């Protein structure tokens, strides 16, 4: 540890002590009820970090806080209690017991905390219903497909009613189609369950889809931390930029990130608003009367959908909120720049803006 | 010059003195080792002998039917009837009791030791060379210290059988538990398992196919040794063979030999069937059969392949 504090590099320490520095000086706040993604390539220390969080791997230094309680050095009994009731985990290769039925696997956490059998099966049954595997309850995991097995793993993690969920490369062992399906499933569950999820992945696309916040790790340290849009707009780091380069911006960014808040454009044309702030129409440059030809989109509409609408419709693009009130307009060049990834035209979501 | 006919190191007399000293000073220890083996052996043998032979054959047949299926059950019944007709029934029962006693004691000693070895590298470091020596020593050689320390007869014979048969069970238990998928262990810890829960809920059930493979080895070694211990006066089928040889009565010796072979095949089939059971056949049935399904779950072949791979990587 002294070497780490002295600021020696990872390879230097490996040479001197044969000890590998897994995770170094990572300070993360994982906000309640959101999906926080830790993204990094293999060897970057992300799985080690995840295992430090529930102390499967004991950190040599540092502090772990859960709701302000420091559990870094708590008694084994207290730690077990936390693992049984507060923090659960989903594993890359599912970690299911092959000789126990699906429902018994889901009930593992409940069994370990010694709940009676009937209660275990009742709760596990409910969880299986949530992940849509009720009719598989008495089958063995070996009879299920990969995606279904991970649903069982997810149900097992949910069954303990823990509010913190560590998902270590949970979808990485699944093939791409099933992976997307599971991501949707997780997002769907999250809308009702609001768990605090710490999601570990090496897949940047997955991080972008799931993450409310993303932390990018390399060599045991977090090198970039922010919302998906912040990271794509401004990677701040060559290593991060290598990932963001291939991002499909049209699907990541929304109308709010490219819109201009005035109703008038440079050529003199403008949206005409009525008293309640709703769009009454569009007047062409030169003061011609308002005509109805314009395209309305919501602030959270993705650029890809706006582009699709623009290619079909006629007239300028207005951003309106749920009540129909005018929020801004999107000039064509801003839409194109947003899709092309020209950071200078982006606004609103930039951290320094 | 060194004279080949001369003994320079009187190792024989040293060992004699050492063993005599041990026998003299540790008599209570060996008595107390002997006692449970004696009791167990007598209890099993007594029970088997008072049971009517045909009832016993029927029970074995049912056991074989339940564990291994119709073919093995048929073979078991026919073989046992044949043994009964050959007139070596009581000798067979004695051998069977000897093996049964040895297995009970081996399980009671071997599995806990195997678990200990799996959890502590230091324990495995100490026990491994001992097991290596034990398994390379011809079983014949064990007879010497056993006679010195425990005397002659069926009970010392049982002790010798135990000593010979226990190493594979320790080894397989150790390897079985060490071979449990790391992610399953982590899953157990992550959901708040205590050390004991981890052992009983995850490690032992997962290692069971391997442990049962070890048990199969132990049973076969016990079978072999139960014959050899006839030389220190243990009764049973081995004694039939030994007497036949002593009197140049080839027929009698052959009858004993046939009995031994039939017993060995039955025991091997039954213990292999236990290790081979497919949990799927029983999943979702009553709790007892469900428990058995879990108990005997997992693929034995897979475990063997894994075991061989792990052994290969170690050599």
- The structural domains of chain B, with segments of one domain joined by +, span 11-50+87-314
- Helices B250-276 and B70-86: crossing angle in degrees, nearest 10, is 160
| pLDDT number for residue B93 | 94
- The structural domains of chain A, with segments of one domain joined by +, span 21-249, 255-345
| pLDDT number for residue A235 | 81
ipTM of the modeled complex: 0.73
- For chain B, percent of residues with pLDDT exceeding 70: 87
Q: Which residues pair with A325 in a beta bridge?
A: A278
What confidence category does residue B170 fall into, taking pLDDT thresholds of 50, 70 and 90? very high
Q: Could you say which architecture CATH assigns to the domain A255-345?
A: Roll (3.10)
Which of the residues A98, A110, A127, A159 would you substitute to probe the B interface, choosing the one with the greatest number of B C-beta atoms within 10 Å?
A: A98
Q: What is the CATH number of domain A21-249?
A: 3.40.50.300
Which of the residues A54, A97, A162, A173 would you substitute to probe the B interface, choosing the one with the greatest number of B C-beta atoms within 10 Å?
A: A97
- Could you give the 3-state DSSP secondary structure of residue A231? helix
Collect all residues from B whose CB is shorter than 8 A from any CB in A. Answer: 181, 183-184, 186-194, 197, 201-202, 205-206, 279-280, 283-284, 293-294, 297-298
Instruction: Tell me the pLDDT tens digit for each residue of A190-221.
Output: 888 888 899 999 988 899 889 888 888 887 78
Distance from CA of A81 to the nearest CA of B (A): 7
Is residue A238 scored above 50 in pLDDT?
Answer: yes
| pLDDT number for residue B300 | 37
Q: Determine which helix (DSSP H) or strand (DSSP E) holds A271, and give its type and residue range.
A: strand A270-273
Closest to B170 in 3D by CA, of B209, B133, B222, B117: B117
Q: Which residue has the tokens 């706006």?
A: A306
Mean pLDDT of chain A: 80
Which runs of consecutive H residues, i.e. helices, occur in B87-179?
89-119, 121-136, 143-150, 154-178
What distance in Å separates the CA atoms of residue A236 and residue A351, rounded to the nearest whole number? 11
Token code pair at residue B292: 């058995």
Q: End-to-end CA distance of chain B, in Å?
A: 43
Instruction: Tell me the pLDDT tens digit for each residue of A107-127.
Output: 999 999 899 999 999 999 999
Asked if B127 and B171 count as a contact pair (C-beta separation under 8 A), the reply is no
| pLDDT number for residue B57 | 94
Asked if B297 and B279 count as a contact pair (C-beta separation under 8 A), the reply is yes
Looking at per-residue pLDDT, the higher value among B192 and B290 belongs to B192
Collect all residues from A whose CB is shorter than 8 A from any CB in B. Answer: 51, 54, 56, 80-85, 87-89, 91-101, 108-109, 111-113, 138-140, 143, 156, 160, 166
**Angle formed at CA B283 by CA B281 and CA B289, multiple of 5 degrees:** 90
What confidence category does residue B239 fall into, taking pLDDT thresholds of 50, 70 and 90? very high
What distance in Å separates the CA atoms of residue A35 and residue A240, rounded to the nearest whole number? 20
CATH classification of B11-50+87-314 is 1.10.3720.10, yes or no?
Answer: yes
Of the spans A8-22, A298-312, B242-256, which averages the highest pLDDT? B242-256
Do the strands A295-297 and A279-283 form a parallel or antiparallel pair, or are they unpaired? unpaired
Asked if A217 and A18 count as a contact pair (C-beta separation under 8 A), the reply is no
Residues in chain A: 353
| pLDDT number for residue B298 | 37
Q: Which residues pair with A271 in a beta bridge?
A: A282
What distance in Å separates the CA atoms of residue B177 and residue B118, rounded to the nearest whole number? 6
Instruction: Tell me the pLDDT tens digit for each residue of A343-352.
Output: 554 544 443 3
Closest to B27 in 3D by CA, of B148, B142, B152: B148
In whole angstroms, how far apart are CA A32 and each of A122, A191, A193, A211, A224?
28, 13, 12, 13, 20
């Amino acid at each position: 540890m002294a070497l780490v504090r002295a600021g020696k590099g990872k390879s230097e320490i490996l040479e001197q002590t044969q000890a590998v520095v897994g995770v170094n000086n990572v300070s993360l706040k994982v906000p309640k009820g959101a999906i926080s993604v830790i993204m990094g390539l293999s060897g970057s220390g992300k799985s080690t970090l995840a295992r430090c969080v529930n102390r499967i791997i004991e950190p040599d230094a540092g502090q772990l806080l859960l709701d302000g309680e420091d559990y870094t050095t708590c008694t084994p009994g207290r730690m077990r209690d936390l693992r049984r009731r507060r923090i659960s985990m989903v594993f890359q290769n599912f970690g299911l017991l092959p000789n126990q039925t699906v429902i018994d696997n889901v009930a593992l956490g409940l069994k370990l905390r010694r709940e009676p059998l009937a209660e275990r099966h009742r709760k596990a049954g409910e969880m299986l219903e949530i992940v849509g595997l009720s009719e598989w309850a008495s089958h063995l995991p070996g009879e299920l497909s990969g995606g279904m097995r991970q649903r069982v793993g997810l149900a097992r993690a949910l069954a303990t009613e823990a509010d913190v969920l560590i998902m270590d490369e949970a979808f990485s062992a699944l093939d791409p189609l099933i992976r997307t399906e599971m991501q949707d499933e997780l997002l769907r569950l999250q809308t009702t369950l609001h768990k605090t999820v710490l999601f570990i992945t090496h897949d940047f696309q997955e991080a972008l889809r799931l993450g409310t916040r993303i932390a990018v790790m390399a060599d045991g340290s977090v090198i970039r931390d922010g919302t998906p849009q912040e990271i794509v707009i401004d990677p701040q780091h060559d290593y991060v930029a290598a990932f963001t380069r291939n991002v499909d911006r049209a699907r990541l960014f929304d109308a709010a990130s490219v819109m201009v808040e005035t109703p008038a454009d440079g050529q003199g044309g403008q949206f005409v608003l009525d008293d309640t702030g709703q769009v009454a129409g569009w007047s062409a440059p030169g003061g011609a009367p308002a005509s109805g030809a314009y395209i309305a989109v919501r602030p959270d509409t993705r650029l890809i959908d706006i582009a699709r609408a623009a290619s079909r419709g006629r007239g300028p693009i207005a951003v309106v909120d749920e009540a129909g009130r005018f929020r801004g307009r999107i000039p064509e060049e801003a839409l194109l720049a947003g899709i092309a990834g020209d950071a200078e035209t982006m606004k609103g979501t930039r951290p320094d803006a | 010059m060194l004279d080949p006919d001369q003994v320079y190191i009187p190792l024989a007399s040293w060992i004699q003195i050492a063993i005599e000293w041990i026998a003299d000073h540790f008599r209570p220890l060996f008595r107390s080792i002997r006692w449970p083996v004696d009791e167990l052996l007598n209890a099993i043998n007594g029970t088997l002998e008072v049971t009517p032979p045909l009832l016993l054959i029927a029970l074995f047949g049912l056991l074989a039917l339940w564990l291994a299926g119709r073919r093995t059950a048929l073979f078991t019944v026919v073989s046992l009837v044949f043994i009964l007709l050959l007139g070596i029934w009581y000798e067979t029962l004695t051998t069977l009791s000897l093996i049964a006693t040895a297995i009970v004691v081996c399980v009671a000693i071997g599995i806990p030791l195997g678990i200990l070895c799996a959890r502590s590298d230091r324990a495995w470091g100490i026990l491994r060379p001992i097991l290596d020596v034990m398994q390379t020593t011809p079983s014949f050689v064990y007879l010497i210290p056993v006679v010195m320390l425990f005397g002659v007869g069926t009970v010392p014979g049982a002790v010798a059988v135990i000593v010979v048969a226990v190493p594979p069970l320790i080894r397989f238990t150790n390897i079985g538990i060490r071979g449990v998928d790391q992610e399953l262990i982590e899953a157990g810890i992550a959901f708040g398992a205590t050390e004991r829960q981890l052992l009983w809920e995850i490690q032992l059930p997962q290692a069971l196919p391997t442990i049962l493979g070890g048990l199969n080895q132990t049973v076969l070694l016990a079978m072999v040794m139960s014959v050899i211990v006839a030389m220190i006066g243990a009764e049973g089928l081995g004694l039939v063979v030994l007497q036949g040889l002593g009197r140049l009565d080839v027929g009698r010796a052959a009858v004993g030999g046939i009995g031994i072979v039939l017993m060995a095949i039955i025991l091997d089939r039954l213990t292999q069937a236990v290790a081979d059971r497919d949990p799927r056949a029983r999943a979702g049935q009553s709790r007892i059969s469900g428990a058995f399904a879990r108990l005997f779950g997992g693929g034995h072949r897979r475990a063997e392949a894994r075991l061989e791979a792990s052994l290969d990587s170690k050599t």
